[in-house]
Amino acid sequence: MALLTILEFPDERLRTVAKPIAEFDAALQTRIDDMFETMYAAPGIGLAATQVDDHRQLIVMDVSENKDQPLVVINPKIVEREGVQTYQEGCLSVPGIFADVDRADHIVVECLDRHGQPQRIAASGLLAVCIQHEMDHLAGKVFVDYLSPLKRQMVQRKLDKRRRQAA
């Protein structure tokens, strides 16, 4: 397995719209395993292929406390949404930044698993937030897009400062 490089906001490659997956070959299985390793190491609870510069509709997640419930979501479509919840989100592509975002409280997603088998996921709470956040990545969106221009400027300044300190 291998750790993958995570693209960071405002990298333009994060704006790429992902394409559906049709082939469930060995290379895809390796990519999924590498994405899990990268996500757990970060550490994070979700990672979209977009964030590792792979522009296919692929998401890995694990919102469990013991990090023992890996979930692979491929070619997802939200078929039901209900209610609103506000959650303080973060993102491995926007390190150190957290902000409130409104999302649907409950969703039903139709997608494929890592072997191409159809699955239907009913999600609430954190899992629902995570799926919607990661599906945004596949559409070329980042959670800071939901912030006001002023707040987004503050985020950009904070990230610039972090990068100067790290350099």
Active site residues: 134
The CB-nearest residue to Ni ion is 91
Q: Is residue 44 a contact partner of residue 4, using CB atoms and an 8 Å limit?
A: no
d(CA 10, CA 85): 26
Alpha helices in 102-148 (DSSP H): 125-138
Least Å from the CB of residue 92 to Ni ion: 6
Q: Please, which residue, 51 or 75, has the CB nearer to Ni ion? A: 51
Pick the piece of the chain touching Ni ion (CB under 5 A) from 52-60, 85-93, 95-103, 156-164: 85-93
Interior CA angle at 87 toward 14 and 18, to 5°?
Answer: 25
DSSP for 38-106 reads HHHHTT-SEEEGGGGT--BSEEEE---TTS---EEEEEEEEEEEEEEEEEEE--TTSTT--EEEEEEEE
Least Å from the CB of residue 15 to Ni ion: 13
Residue 49 interacts with Ni ion (CB under 5 A): yes or no: no
Pick the piece of the chain touching Ni ion (CB under 5 A) from 19-27, 34-42, 74-82, 87-95: 87-95
Question: Exactly one of 45, 52, 91, 127 binds Ni ion (CB under 5 A); which one?
Answer: 91
Pick the piece of the chain touching Ni ion (CB under 5 A) from 32-40, 61-69, 86-94, 144-152: 86-94
d(CA 63, CA 44): 9
Q: Which residues bind Ni ion (CB under 5 A)?
A: 91
